Amino acid sequence: MSRSKFERVPIAEQDPKVRATNFDEVCLGYTEEEAIEEAKRCIQCKHHPCIAGCPVDIDIPRFIHHIAEGEFEEAAHVLAEYTALPAVCGRVCPQEDQCEVVCVRGIRGDAVAIGKLERFAADWAKANNVELGKTKEKNGFKVAVIGSGPAGVTCAGELAKEGYEVTIFEALHEPGGVLVYGIPEFRLPTDEVVMHEIGNLKKLGVKIETNVVVGKTITVDELLNDEGFHAVFIGSGAGLPIFMGIPGENLNGVFSANEYLTRNNLMKAFRDDHDTPIKAGDKVAVIGGGNVAMDAARTALRLGAETWIVYRRTEKELPARVEEVHHAMAEGIKFEFLTSPVEVLGNEDGWVRAIRCQRMELGEPDESGRRRPLPIEGSEFEFDVDTVIMALGTSPNPLIPSTTEGLDVNKWQCIVADEKGQTSKEGVFAGGDVVTGSATVILAMGAGKEAAAGIDKYIKEKYGEKSLA
């Protein structure tokens, strides 16, 4: 073996030129041999800082040890103890800020590729039909989970394993939440990865009812009072798109990233045999610098557009994962840093013809610790594009709080909940983006897991340890 142990085993990816024209997954994953080699780089250190870095406390050294020994099935079982979505997390978690950033290997050389190994173990289990579902005897208590994104799915999985009867209510026609409508196929394949993990959840006995918009189709109070649920978990996410509030934003050709991505991902507009239309655009400006902005830009590129990311700070401040930024750049996305739109300009038919932008410079750090962008006077210029995609973040949907008696929200419309997910209303728990505002998949999963423990404690305290079954 010629590779130094300080270097990570490289992982196969689709060639950037090829993948820029398709929606197949970019990263191809480790082979068994590569996974074993990478797993052996883990020194199984005694203080395992990686576990504390993981929002769902996965026993990382233990699953990696199994991979190093070639015991892939055991590795998958270790993961299943802690997470309902290992194949998802292995792909989209920001490991570089969580488990890998504290890896002892990283002090000298590359951190162990924990995320890639997690993905490997999960994919191996799927390919080899490993049965992961182990649940306690049914206890007869019913819990309703609202939303089938990362928070809801995790909460549901944890409770099902404890013997609860869990029903997930999903507003859209497919389960998965942001994993399906938001994150594109080339990063997270829907059918092979997300639906497989949701299938595992169903094997735990979780029921999923799609097409139920809680707050409209049924209310939280009806779930508790009329449908016999002993507790409700709200994991409805942060789905409302934020716009800039600049002139011209309602011109034809201005879309929220949510709309653009939902048309392409959930509705599969990129496929010729699907009916939902999408305006790919010829020259597309994506406004924003987060993961959603990267996803929207890389989607536009794959649909054939020349694509720019327009971001008001510099490359260093981009909130997106470094891996995704590198992927985007390799694929040919262009970046306009230190640039902010002030107006969208239209042609006589009301379609976008350009954005008027101003150049920025970085001033003193703001509350977020990042240097505040300040406009440079007299720097305005027109940037010719025909499509603008706003990827400025999202906020929670007020639909549930506004229809639930006694459920408090803060000034950002986020539901107020403590660390165990308990809200201001008895029997109602919440977690994930609906509580924190838009964040990451894994933080939502962590919150779903905490809330499951909170719900378990609440029900056992209220009804005693006895089972209803």
Partner 1 sequence: MYKIVRKRALASNIFEADVLAPRVAHSAQPGQFVIIVPDETGERIPLTICDYDKEEGTVNIVIQRMGCSTKKIDGLEEGDYLKDFVGPLGRPSDFVNEDIEELKKKKILFIAGGVGTAPVYPQAKWLHERGVGVDIILGAQTKDLVILEDKLGSVAENLYVCTDDGSYGFHGMVTNMLEELVSNRGKHYDLAISIGPMIMMKFVALMTEKLGIKTVVSLNPIMVDGTGMCGACRVTVGNETKFACVDGPEFDGHLVDFDEALRRQTQYKPEESKVDERFQEECRAEGGAE
- Binding residues (CB under 8 A) for partner 1: these are 171-173, 181, 210-213, 216-218, 239-241, 243, 249-250, 252-253, 255-256, 258-259, 262-263, 267-268, 272-279, 349-350, 397, 399
Pick the closest to residue 232 from 156, 307, 305 (CA basis). 156
CB 414 to partner 1: min, Å: 15
CB 157 to partner 1: min, Å: 24
Amino acid sitting at position 307: T
Of 275 and 405, the one with the shorter C-beta distance to partner 1 is 275
Of 214 and 355, the one with the shorter C-beta distance to partner 1 is 214
Of 190 and 397, the one with the shorter C-beta distance to partner 1 is 397
Tokens coding 16: 């950037």
Q: How many CB atoms lie within 10 A of CB 362?
A: 16
CB 351 to partner 1: min, Å: 9
CB 171 to partner 1: min, Å: 6
Cα gap 412→185, rounded to integer Å:
31
Amino acid sitting at position 349: D
CB 430 to partner 1: min, Å: 18
Q: How many CB atoms lie within 10 A of CB 291?
A: 23
Handedness of CA 52, 55, 59, 61 (dihedral sign): negative
Of 260 and 337, the one with the shorter C-beta distance to partner 1 is 260
Of 314 and 403, the one with the shorter C-beta distance to partner 1 is 403
CB 323 to partner 1: min, Å: 27
Q: At what angle do helices 72-82 and 114-127 cross, to 10 degrees?
A: 110
CB 69 to partner 1: min, Å: 43
The DSSP symbol for 227 reads S
| Range 108-147 burial, b when 16+ CB lie within 10 A, else e | eebbbbbbbbbbbbbbbbbeeebebeebeeebebbbbbbb
CB 239 to partner 1: min, Å: 4
The DSSP symbol for 376 reads P
Of 75 and 232, the one with the shorter C-beta distance to partner 1 is 232
Residue 224 and residue 427 in contact, taking contact as beta carbons nearer than 8 Å: yes
Of 177 and 421, the one with the shorter C-beta distance to partner 1 is 177
Residue 178: which residues within 8 A CB-CB, separation 6 or more? Answer: 149, 150, 237, 441
Residue 147: which residues within 8 A CB-CB, separation 6 or more? Answer: 168, 169, 170, 171, 177, 234, 235, 236, 237, 432, 434
Q: How many CB atoms lie within 10 A of CB 382?
A: 12
Of 248 and 421, the one with the shorter C-beta distance to partner 1 is 248
CB 63 to partner 1: min, Å: 35
Length of the chain: 469
What is the distance of C-alpha 218 from the center of its chain?
Answer: 26
CB 443 to partner 1: min, Å: 20
Q: How many CB atoms lie within 10 A of CB 31?
A: 13
Q: How many CB atoms lie within 10 A of CB 379?
A: 13
Pick the closest to residue 158 from 212, 231, 95, 213 (CA basis). 231
Of 236 and 422, the one with the shorter C-beta distance to partner 1 is 236
Residue 183 and residue 93 in contact, taking contact as beta carbons nearer than 8 Å: no
Of 124 and 255, the one with the shorter C-beta distance to partner 1 is 255
CB 244 to partner 1: min, Å: 11
Pick the closest to residue 191 from 180, 204, 183, 200 (CA basis). 180
Of 95 and 387, the one with the shorter C-beta distance to partner 1 is 387
The DSSP symbol for 193 reads I
